[in-house]
Amino acid sequence: MADEGYSSTAWESTDNPDPNASQTPYYGLFQPNSPSLIHESATAPALSSLPVKPSSPPPRSSSDSLGRSSSSRWRDSVPVTIERKDTLSVIPSDAISLVETNFDENVLRVLCELDCGVPLLLDRIKQSMVSCREASVFFKKRAVLEDEYGKSLQKLARTTSEVYSMNDGKAGSFVGAWQSSMKIHDIMAENRIRFAQRLNEMSDELASLAKEVDKNRKQTKELASRYERALQESELNMEKSKNRLEVSSEELERVLLQKEGESLKDGGLQAKNQGGVAGKRALGKAVAKGGLLLKGKNPGNIQRQEDDIRTRVSNASDLYRKALTDTQAMRQEYFNFQLPRILRALKECADEIDLGTQYHLTRYAFLFESIVLSDGSTLVPVAPEDGIGLKSTIESIDNRADFKIYMQNYAYARGGTAPRGPRREGPAEEGFLPPLPTHGGGAYSVHTNAPVGSSQNSQIPDKGRPTFGVDLAEQMARDNVELPAILEKCCTAIEKHGLQSQGIYRISGMARKVASLKERLDKDIDSVNLDSEEWISDINNVTSVLKMWFRELPDPLLTSTLHQGFVEAAKIENDRLRHIRLHERVNDLPDPNYATLKYFLGHLHKIAEYEADNSMSIQNLAIVFGQTLFGQMIPGNGSFLGHGNGGMADAPFQNKAIETILDHYSDIFVDEAEVGA
């Protein structure tokens, strides 16, 4: 609240807009001709910190009002300074709209008429502080619950997404729907965490509001107590002055009786006729005491004694009159100015905490409603650009198409293995029947025993430069190249069309398409255009062919000779030492293998940079290519590529080796000259 001075002009402008307001009497000390408190802000700066609106309540009636004089004694006796802070300053600026524009003067008038106005407001503020603190505690506890829920949901969504990308779960449309549903849960968790932050802010603001209001309440209570004590002391001082005047008057009466020589009886009758019962009692006491002084007193002494007593009576009368006037002025000022000002300050203090609490409760209701609506719009978006929602995402799973792709991949993967169970075909003399004729093959037709190449592939001339199953060094020397042509061709197409493809390298292509592409590349690699619609429509066919080329190398890319060295280096627990040992093994590779590994791992490093889109982290890529680059079992005969060094027991260490080399790709393969270039 802003500080205001208290001049008479501010109090003379009341809140009565009626044209006949001139007939309304001025209350208390604030009459046009009253000199009291005209310069209140200058003479009592200690009290100017309590605000006063330009209106005044009706005065408290006083039957002893005899005059209006300066209240300097009042102000000197109450040297109190209050620094009152605006407790609504802790509430955001948009709360100002909740504050009433006009102070309720009628309520203030009623409070001024009550004997219990001050304790009433003090108790009301105490109740409001209890309510404010309860709301603050509720917000704090609710914030803890929301924060715990949001962080738990966020952790669950992200962990589930990462774990599924490493597990052997369903592929196809199910992967996209599953990852999208986890993102929706992640968004909802973020909203809850932000909601918890807002609740914490509101809890702190309410606690600060209650603290400030409690401080202001105590200061105002102390000020009211000081005013009341000062008024009581003034009334006590007036009573003492009155008693001293009565004693001096009794002595004067006694001397006058002595001077006039009246009898005790006549003095008693005269006192009865002049002063009534009280005068009789006072005069009787004077005569009773003065009777003993009649003896031995001459007229001169009596005259001097009379003059001295008259002086004392005059002084006592002046002191009593001054004390009475000061007390009346103090009483008028207390009931007509100080008490209304204290009550106004307490009422505004109560309004501040009530409005502050109501504002934060309203803000809480708005935020709660907003978070619920936000969850609803996340689950069921209104605009198409906001997504399709959780239900539509789950409904987008195409189990039929996923199963078809799985059948094709499974049949292709098992095509070279020895059949298990009863044989389908055989010689007629052993009782086998001829195969049934097929008519156009359905959607689920899987030709496991069909020729690898189609009729179109059979028309491609074979240039006699095979690509698959040829030793890496012989292949590069034959073609006079620094890198295998198939590696450059496939990696370029994948980087152009598949960096953001979900599950790239982890999801296999269609068996028929993969076999067809392999045959074409094996017969004439230069005639194959991987940028055509036939191949970019499903880039997984290209990645499957590239993995097949690595698997069919006679000697694995990392060589059977260095296999054990790579595995032993991968077993080292210390990250730095493992990196150094694997770097040494990479440098031991033959030049063709080193060049091929450097180029291909650079390609995988670029794939990992798009992890947010394709869900293929370095760890996932290492799992896919661990056995592929180290060598794996040849289907059908139980032996291993690379002289039996690629056993399943070494699979975790093979994956760890690839992961470490990928993590430190720049340190191992990229030198300073290349970085500068």
pLDDT tens, residue by residue, 115-124 = 888 999 999 9
Quickly state the pLDDT bin for 648 (edges 50, 70, 90): low
Q: Residue 50's CB: how many other CB atoms inside 10 A?
A: 21
* Structure token digits, residue 266: 């006549």
Specify whether the CB–CB gap between 267 and 314 falls below 8 A. Answer: no
Whether the CB-CB separation of 73 and 330 falls below 8 Å is answered with yes
Strand partners, 633: 640
Predicted local distance difference test score (pLDDT) of residue 282: 47
Flag the least confident range among 37-41, 409-413, 506-510, 595-599.
37-41
List beta partners, residue 640.
633
Rounded Cα distance, 243 and 445, in Å: 126
Q: 497 pLDDT exceeds 60?
A: yes
When mean pLDDT is compared across 196-205, 291-300, 527-536, the lowest value belongs to 291-300
CB atoms within 10 A of CB 193: 17
| Ramachandran assignment for 210, one of left (phi > 0), alpha (psi -120 to 50 degrees), beta (any other) | alpha
Q: Quick one: pLDDT at residue 189?
A: 94
Q: Give start and end residues of each alpha helix (H) in 39-172.
A: 40-43, 72-77, 105-113, 117-166
Grade residue 424 by pLDDT with cuts at 50, 70 and 90: low
More confident residue, 57 or 581: 581
> Quick one: pLDDT band at residue 337, thresholds 50, 70, 90?
confident
Residues in the chain: 677
> What are the tokens at 484?
């295998």
Q: Which residue type does 364 have? A: Y
The whole-number average pLDDT for the span 274-301 is: 50
Q: What is the mean pLDDT of residues 351-358?
A: 93
DSSP state of 481: -
Q: Is the dihedral of CA 491, 493, 496, 501 positive or negative?
A: negative
pLDDT tier, 153 (very low <50, low <70, confident <90, very high otherwise): very high
| Residue closest to 405 by CA, chosen among 351, 359, 444, 458 | 444
- Model confidence at 508: pLDDT above 60: yes
| Choice between 621 and 641, residue whose per-residue pLDDT is larger | 621
**C-alpha–C-alpha distance, residues 357 and 363, integer Å:** 10
Mean pLDDT of 607-635: 83
Q: What are phi and psi of 294, to 5 degrees?
A: -70, -25
- The half-sphere exposure of 84 on its side-chain side, counting CA atoms within 13 A, is 28
**Which region among 90-99, 428-437, 507-516 has the lowest average model confidence (pLDDT)?**
90-99
The token pair that represents 176 in the structure block: 């996209």
Helix, strand, coil shares, percent, the chain, to 5: 70, 0, 30
Residue 194 scores a pLDDT above 70: yes
Confidence of residue 100 (pLDDT cuts 50, 70, 90): very low
pLDDT of 205 over the 60 cut = yes
Q: Token pair of 644, please?
A: 């039996």
User: Looking at the predicted structure, is the pLDDT value of residue 82 above 60?
Assistant: no
Give the DSSP letter of residue 173.
H
91-100, 277-286, 345-354, 534-543, range with greatest mean pLDDT: 345-354
**Residue owning tokens 């009211």:** 224
Highest mean pLDDT among 184-193, 252-261, 626-635: 184-193
Interval 532-554 mean pLDDT: 88
Confidence of residue 227 (pLDDT cuts 50, 70, 90): confident
- Spatial separation of the C-alpha atoms in residues 192 and 368, rounded to whole Å: 10
For the cut 90, the answer to whether the pLDDT of residue 9 exceeds it is no
Local confidence band at 491 (pLDDT 50, 70, 90 cut-offs): very high
Tell me the average pLDDT across 416-441.
56
Strand partners, 39: 7
Residue 613's CB is within 10 A of a number of other CB atoms, namely 12
Q: What percent of the chain has pLDDT over 70?
A: 68
Q: Which of 192-196, 319-323, 534-538 has the highest average model confidence (pLDDT)? A: 192-196
Q: Over 50: is that where the pLDDT of 674 sits?
A: yes
Cα separation, 466 vs 521, in Å, equals 8
> Are 81 and 46 contacting, i.e. CB atoms less than 8 angstroms apart?
yes
Residue 129 in this model has a pLDDT that exceeds 60: yes
Please name which of 78, 27, 86 lies closest in space to residue 51, comparing C-alpha atoms.
Answer: 86
Q: Give the range with max mean pLDDT: 298-302, 442-446, 461-465, 658-662.
A: 658-662
> How far is residue 49 from each of residues 81, 83, 228, measured CA to CA in Å?
8, 6, 19
Residues paired with 102 in a beta bridge: none
State the pLDDT at residue 649: 67
Query: Rounded to an integer, what distance in angstroms lies between the CA atom of residue 192 and that of residue 198?
Result: 10
Closest CA to 221 of 82, 57, 53, 45: 82
Return the closest-CA partner of residue 509 out of 175, 172, 170.
172
Q: What is the mean pLDDT of residues 483-505?
A: 89
Confidence (pLDDT) at 467: 84
pTM more than 0.85: no
Question: Of the given ranges (220-224, 306-310, 368-372), which has the lowest mean pLDDT?
Answer: 306-310
The stretch 18-33 carries a mean pLDDT of: 36
Q: Which of 621, 425, 589 is nearest to 504 (CA)?
A: 621
**β-pair partners for 616:** none
Confidence of residue 419 (pLDDT cuts 50, 70, 90): low
pLDDT at 523 over 90: no
Reduced to 3 states (helix: H, G, I; strand: E, B; else coil), residue 63 is coil
- pLDDT for 445: 41
* Per-residue model confidence (pLDDT) at position 84: 36
| Highest mean pLDDT: which range of 55-64, 149-158, 445-454, 509-518 | 149-158
Burial (Cβ within 10 Å: 0-12, 13-18, ≥19) of residue 599: middle
Q: What is the DSSP letter of 90?
A: G
The pLDDT, as a whole number, for residue 297 is 59
Q: Looking at the predicted structure, is the pLDDT value of residue 96 above 50? A: no
Q: What is the dihedral of CA 10, 16, 20, 26, to 10 degrees?
A: -50
Mean pLDDT across 449-468: 57
> What pLDDT does residue 64 have?
39
Give the pLDDT confidence score for residue 501 in this predicted structure: 87
**In this predicted structure, what is the pLDDT of residue 358?**
94
The pLDDT, as a whole number, for residue 143 is: 95
Using CA atoms, how far apart are residues 184 and 302, in angstroms rounded to an integer? 112
Q: Which residues pair with 271 in a beta bridge?
A: none
How far separated are the first and last CA of the chain, in Å rounded?
68
Cα–Cα distance list, 315 to 244, 263, 308, 393, 407 (Å): 10, 29, 11, 102, 124
- Distance, in Å, from the CA atom of 671 to the CA atom of 653, rounded to the nearest integer, reads 27
Angstrom distances, CA of residue 447 to CA of 417, 424, 443 = 15, 13, 12
Structure tokens given for 109 = 């008038």
What one-character-per-residue DSSP string does 584-629 give?
HHHHTS-HHHHHHHHHHHHHHHHHHHTHHHH---HHHHHHHHHHHH
Query: How many angstroms separate the Cα of 676 from the Cα of each of 22, 76, 602, 671, 672?
Result: 93, 84, 17, 9, 6
Judge whether residue 618 has pLDDT over 80.
yes
Q: Which residue has the higher pLDDT, 287 or 111?
A: 111
Mean pLDDT of the chain: 74
Check residue 436 and give its pLDDT. Answer: 55
Report whether 142 contacts 181 (CB < 8 A): no
In order, the DSSP letters of 380-403 are S-SSGGG--HHHHHHHT--HHHHH
- Residue 111 φ then ψ, to 5°: -65, -35
Mean pLDDT of 163-175: 83
Tell me 44's DSSP state. -
Would you give the DSSP letter of residue 144?
Answer: H
